[in-house]
Structures are given as C-alpha cells and as structure tokens.
Amino acid sequence: MTEFLIIDGSYGEGGGQILRSSLSLSAITGRPVRIENLRANRNKPGLAAQHLTSVRAAAMLCSAEMKGAELGSQALQFIPRTPVRSGDYFLDVAQAREGGSSGAAMLVLQTLLLPLALTTGVSTVTLRGGTHVNMSPSYDYVHDVWLPTLARMGMNVELSLVRSGWYPVGQGQVKLRIMEAGKLLPLRLEHRGALVAVTGRALAANLPAHICERMASHARDLLEQAGISAEIEAVVLKAACPGAGLYLTAHYENCLAGFSAQGKRGKPAEQVAEEACSALLYHYRSGAALEQHLADQLILPAALCRDESMLGIERISSHIVTNAWVVERFGLARIDIAPAADGTGVIKILANR
C-alpha cells in the first residue's frame, strides 16, 4: 500500500492515544499513515519522549520509513516496509531526549504488544522508563488488570518488574515475553457479577516505610466503611528517585477493574488513599462491568476479533470515543457506543468482514 491514511491528531481528546493506536494498527495492517496535528490538545503539542519512543518501537517491528520522528514534531509519516517480525527488542525512553525522561514505559508497551502478539513466534521486550507515573497505566495496572483480561482473548503475555521508575527521573525497567496469539477471542463483559475481592499494593520508593503503611491502612479503613474488605500490601522499593502510589484491583466474578493514585511532595499519604478508593467506589456504585480505562484499552484487540465484543462501561469518556474513531478510520470494525441515562454505557465492537 502506498496511499496514506490521514489521521487528524486533534480529533476528540487530541492526545497521545491517537498516535499509539495509529502506530499499532499501521504496523498490523501494513497501511501507511500520516498523523497531523499531533497531540494538538495538550499544553505542549507534538511528540514528547515517550511518544517518540513509541514511534521508534513500532518502526523497529516493521522496518518502517518515517518522516517527522523527532521531539516536538506535530506531523508524522509512518510507512511499514515489512510485516511485523517477532524478536528481541530493547527500548529506553530516556534515549529520546537529552537529559533523560521519566516517560511512561507502559504506554510504549501498549503500542508494541498487539502487533507482536499477532505475528508468528515469541518476542521478548525490555523497556526502560517510568513504570509508575501520572497520566498513564502503572506496571501494577498492566500486570494485574490489563494482561489478565487480554489472556481471556487468547493472548499469552508475561510481564515482570526489574525496578520501578518514578517522576521525574524514571529509569525503571520491565521485561515482557509475548507468545503468538493466533485467533483472538471476543469479549462479552456486559455484567461484572459480584465483587469477590479487592487487592492492592501501596508503594514507597526511597521513602520511609510509614508512608506506604499509612496509605494501605487508610485505604483499608475507607473501603471497610463501604462494606468492602481489602488486602493491601505495603511495600518499600528502591528506585532512581523517590515516589509513592497506591494501586488497587477489584476482582469481580466476570472481570477485573483497576484504580490508582500517585503521591507527590507535600501530598499526605491519606489523600493518596482517598483518591484511589474514591475511584474504586465510583465504579463499584455504577454497577458497570468495566472502568473507563480498561474499556478504552480493549477497543483495539476487540476490533481484530471475528465475532462481536460487548463491553459495559462506567463512563463513556472522550478518550474512548476518540480511540473508537481511530479504529473506524482504518476500516477494521464498526463500533457502536450507546450511553445510558445514568452516565454508564455499552460498547459493541464488530469487525468488518
């Protein structure tokens, strides 16, 4: 294919997800893309370090030719030259910018995972960067929520944490092993069933143990007041710089849901616990199967299934609508988003045949 698919990066929420989804789908389909107005709705438009690393990562998989692959670029041409190849890959977000970066390694992983799972053979990926940073899924979320849900679709992926990485230094590291998935299975997650358990980790890197212990204790108390018991582990870690956060997983009969909050200087541990528990309780009281972030991250794999997927969701965000738009621009699936009066909704995803 030589004709470019033009993607407007200012559409909808106008952030980095348009780039990542476009890169993954371009690598999978072999279709060249030109993405304009990259991250137009962000305070600093254009490619930041983590986005540039995602571009380089996708290019490695399919020997892509690129134009505009540089920091700050607001337009990118991406032309796959070969089918996606399995192999051993290494990427460091810090290499994308002089002075380093704590850019989110998990978002780079998000770009790579689906193309590698759908090719033949086994791949290993080592990623360095931020593993627990704001505005991105944490290592805990990917390991405890996203990957187990993808396993239900037929993906076999192993993820391990070598060391954690926090803002502003990063330098965390994860290792990924991706097996060939074959045919993807659809998801029917309209009803979550009963809440079975809540688990979690309160993490403190290069900080006193009482910080993670206070986060864990306060979170347990808050959830107990709502009639929910929780097993939350307090863990002290070593890292390149201090950091703290609370990461919770709600285990329902039919699905998983993840919630988190990040600490920062001057922010009490108890406030971190309150933010994470508030998100969990919002989802719990909504009655919906999926929290908005997981639903968003399931749209691409569901679009590549032969049969219809159906996802019940706590809230239809602009992020979800935007991601659905990217998939439909590639002509891969028809996505119907039906909001309910109470703010919840249902997403139906059926691949075009």
Q: Residues 348, 320: contact at Cβ < 8 Å?
A: no
| Interstrand relation of 309-313 and 256-262 (parallel, antiparallel or unpaired) | unpaired
> Does residue 5 have a pLDDT over 90?
yes
DSSP 8-state secondary structure symbol assigned to residue 133: -
User: At a CB cut-off of 8 Å and minimum separation 6, what does 341 contact?
Assistant: none
The per-residue pLDDT for 101 is 87
| Dihedral angle sign, alpha carbons of residues 306, 308, 314, 320 | positive
- Res. 226 pLDDT band, cuts 50 70 90: very high
Question: Which tokens go with 353?
Answer: 């045949």
Orientation of helix 105-117 relative to helix 292-303, angle to 10°: 30
Distances, alpha carbon 92 to alpha carbons 74, 128, 214, 216, 262, in Å: 22, 5, 33, 32, 23
Q: Tens digits of per-residue pLDDT, 175-184?
A: 999 999 988 9
Helices (H) and strands (E) in the chain, counts: 9, 16
% pLDDT > 90, the chain: 92
Question: Which tokens go with 221?
Answer: 């108390």
Q: Which of 2, 52, 8, 3 is nearest to 325 (CA)?
A: 8
The whole-angstrom separation of Cα 19 and Cα 71 is 14
- Res. 352 pLDDT band, cuts 50 70 90: confident
- Res. 102 pLDDT band, cuts 50 70 90: confident
The per-residue pLDDT for 43 is 87
On average, the pLDDT of the chain sits at 95
Q: Please give the torsion angle defined by the CA atoms of residues 6, 11, 15 and 20, in that order, rounded to the nearest 10 degrees.
A: -40
- Res. 353 pLDDT band, cuts 50 70 90: low
The whole-angstrom separation of Cα 181 and Cα 178 is 8
The residue with greater pLDDT, 206 or 97, is: 206
Which residues are marked as active site?
Answer: 319
The per-residue pLDDT for 28 is 97
Neighbours of 67 (CB within 10 A): 12
> Does residue 99 have a pLDDT over 90?
no
DSSP 8-state secondary structure symbol assigned to residue 181: -
Q: Which CATH number fits domain 287-353: 3.40.50, 2.170.130, 3.30.300, 3.30.1370?
A: 3.30.1370
The whole-angstrom separation of Cα 307 and Cα 341 is 28
Q: Tens digits of per-residue pLDDT, 19-76?
A: 999 999 999 999 999 999 999 888 889 999 999 999 999 999 999 999 999 999 999 9
The per-residue pLDDT for 250 is 98
Q: Residues 203, 237: contact at Cβ < 8 Å?
A: yes
- Res. 325 pLDDT band, cuts 50 70 90: very high
> Does residue 282 have a pLDDT over 60?
yes
Q: Which CATH number fits domain 5-182: 3.65.10.20, 3.40.50.1370, 2.60.40.10, 2.140.10.10?
A: 3.65.10.20
The per-residue pLDDT for 41 is 86
Amino acid at the residue 124: T
> For the chain, which residues make up each domain, given as ranges?
5-182, 193-284, 287-353
Overall average pLDDT of the 134-163 stretch: 97
The per-residue pLDDT for 2 is 66
Q: Tens digits of per-residue pLDDT, 328-349?
A: 999 999 999 999 999 899 999 9
> Does residue 1 have a pLDDT over 70?
no
The whole-angstrom separation of Cα 101 and Cα 107 is 14
The per-residue pLDDT for 182 is 84
- Res. 280 pLDDT band, cuts 50 70 90: very high
Superfamily of domain 193-284 in CATH is RNA 3'-terminal phosphate cyclase, insert domain (3.30.360.20)
> Helices (DSSP H) in 255-310: which residue ranges?
269-286, 292-303
Taking the model in full, what pTM does it have?
0.96
Amino acid at the residue 287: G
Q: Which of 213, 248, 243, 255 is nearest to 230 (CA)?
A: 248
> Helices (DSSP H) in the chain: which residue ranges?
16-29, 49-62, 105-117, 139-141, 147-151, 209-225, 269-286, 292-303, 318-329
Q: Is 314 left (phi over 0), alpha (psi -120 to 50) or beta?
A: alpha
The whole-angstrom separation of Cα 178 and Cα 155 is 8
Chain position carrying tokens 């080592």: 126
The whole-angstrom separation of Cα 261 and Cα 278 is 10
In 221-233, which positions are buried (b, 16+ CB within 10 angstroms) versus exposed (e)? ebbeeeebebebe
> Does residue 173 have a pLDDT over 60?
yes
